[in-house]
Amino acid sequence: MTIGQSLRKNGPFLVAGLGSAIVALMLMRQSGGEPLFQPQSDFGIVIGAVIVAAYVVYQDTRESNGKPNS
């Protein structure tokens, strides 16, 4: 399985997870009276999303090569 195939297969899962994390973060910030956009911490969200996507792609490519996931 290629990286593109893995991202297409898992795209809805990744987008839903990132979207729900952003909505929860915005609701928490709004209820606390904090600014909705905070560049330093928002950059951390982007880094986390990239790490999760990389892990999912890694697992898919590993499975397609016949290697166990353990």
**pLDDT tens-digit series, residues 3-51:** 898 899 999 999 999 999 999 999 999 999 999 888 888 898 899 999 9
Contact 11, 57 (CB under 8 A): no
CA distance 40 to 67: 38
Q: Is 17 exposed, middle or buried (0-12, 13-18, 19+ CB in 10 A)?
A: middle
CA distance 62 to 43: 29
Does the pLDDT at position 70 exceed 60? no
pLDDT band of residue 56 (cuts 50, 70, 90) is: very high
Entry pTM: 0.75
